[in-house]
């Protein structure tokens, strides 16, 4: 993938300061438009000290695809630097925005790259936060025989799933462009260990096809805790 680098943050959305007068809780948030295949600077923290921070990143564009995040850790005072690269999930009709958070200390720069034009929101808070995300449950039915349920991207920060039904079904994972990556017929008895915990990658959409009419499902996304 050919990438163009953009370090200009002057015209890509204004910061809104949050946290009132509490300096430890103060931060900035904004929404940024990403051009296709352009590595865009979202935020720069020039404070090279022992102050910890948390950055929250959300995809916000309807039908937006997954986004690559690159956080450059710039420990100037310690003569060190490092890159932390990860992917946040896209947004679609089934997932009303997704994303994740990351924590660190000292100076850093946050970049984002999307293969298609996209939008992202960022909130940078100058305090260490490690929220425990509650599970997100989804009870749904597939009414017609052999019908399909498109469940989209995983919700914010929760990439592990359990999935139960009253009959067998076929599980699919599709990529950002809708190409089929994985398919497997699931049997409730033989595949129960897998169905209690499987990963829903942030750059894939989940799709399910039933085997009976009026089939019942219970899908839960959760955060795997250490």
Residue 117's CATH number: 2.60.120
Question: For the residues 16-25, what does the mean pLDDT come to?
Answer: 42
Residues 83 and 115 in one domain: yes
- Kindly state the average pLDDT of the residues 13-29: 51
Query: Contact, 65 vs 114, CB < 8 A?
Result: yes
Residue that finishes a domain, picked among 125, 158, 189: 125
pLDDT value for 43 = 95
Structural domain contains residue 117: yes
Domain identity same for 114 and 161: no
Same domain, 13 and 113: yes
Same domain, yes or no: 49 and 73: yes
Average pLDDT value for the chain: 86
Please name the residues in contact with 35: beta carbons below 8 A apart, sequence gap of 6 or more.
4, 6, 117
Same domain flag for 149 and 188: yes
Model confidence over 105-144: pLDDT tens digits?
Answer: 889 999 999 999 999 999 999 888 888 999 999 999 999 9
Q: Say if residue 162 is in the same domain as residue 113.
A: no
10 confidence band (pLDDT: 50, 70, 90): very low
Considering the domain architecture, whether residues 95 and 187 belong to the same structural domain is answered as no
Same domain, 98 and 175: no
Closest CA to 209 of 176, 177, 160, 174: 174
Residues 193 and 154 in one domain: yes
Residues 171, 110 share a domain: no
Is there a domain that residue 217 lies in? yes
| Domain assignment of residue 130, yes or no | no
Mean pLDDT of 194-220: 96
Q: What is the CA radius of gyration of the chain?
A: 20
SS3 sequence, 146-189?
Answer: CCEEEEECCCCCCCEEEEEECCCEEEEEECCCCCEEEEEEECCC
Q: What does the pLDDT average to over 173-193?
A: 94
Q: How many domains does the chain have?
A: 2
pLDDT at residue 17 in the model: 44
Assess whether 30 and 109 both reside in one domain. yes
pLDDT-derived band at 21 (thresholds 50, 70, 90) equals: very low
Asked whether residue 131 is assigned to any structural domain, the reply reads no
- Dig out the tokens for 53 from the structure: 């921070």
Domain of residue 218: give its range.
Answer: 136-222
Confidence bin at 161 (pLDDT 50/70/90) = very high
Residue 1 has pLDDT above 70, yes or no: no
Whether 17 and 120 map to the same domain: the answer is yes
Task: Kindly report the CATH number assigned to the domain that includes residue 216.
Answer: 2.60.120.10
Residue at a domain's end among 125, 154, 175? 125
């Amino acid at each position: 993938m050919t990438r163009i680098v953009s370090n200009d943050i002057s015209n890509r959305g204004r910061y809104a300061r949050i946290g009132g007068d509490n300096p430890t809780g103060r931060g900035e948030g904004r929404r940024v438009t990403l051009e296709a295949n352009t590595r865009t600077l979202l935020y720069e923290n020039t404070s090279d000290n022992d102050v910890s921070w948390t950055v929250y990143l959300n995809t916000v564009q309807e039908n937006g695809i997954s986004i690559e995040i690159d956080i450059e850790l710039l420990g100037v005072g310690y003569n060190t630097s490092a890159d932390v690269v990860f992917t946040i999930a896209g947004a679609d009709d089934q997932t009303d925005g997704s994303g994740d958070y990351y924590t660190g200390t000292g100076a850093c720069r946050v970049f984002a790259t999307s293969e298609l034009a996209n939008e992202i929101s960022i909130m940078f808070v100058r305090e260490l936060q490690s929220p425990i995300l509650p599970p997100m449950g989804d009870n749904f039915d597939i009414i017609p025989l052999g019908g399909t349920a498109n469940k989209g991207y995983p919700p914010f920060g929760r990439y592990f799933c359990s999935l139960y039904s009253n009959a067998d079904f076929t599980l699919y994972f599709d990529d950002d462009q809708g190409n089929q990556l994985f398919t497997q017929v699931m049997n409730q008895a033989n595949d129960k260990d897998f169905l209690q915990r499987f990963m829903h990658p942030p750059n894939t959409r989940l799709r399910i096809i039933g085997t009976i009419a009026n089939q019942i499902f219970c899908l839960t996304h959760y955060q795997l805790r250490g």
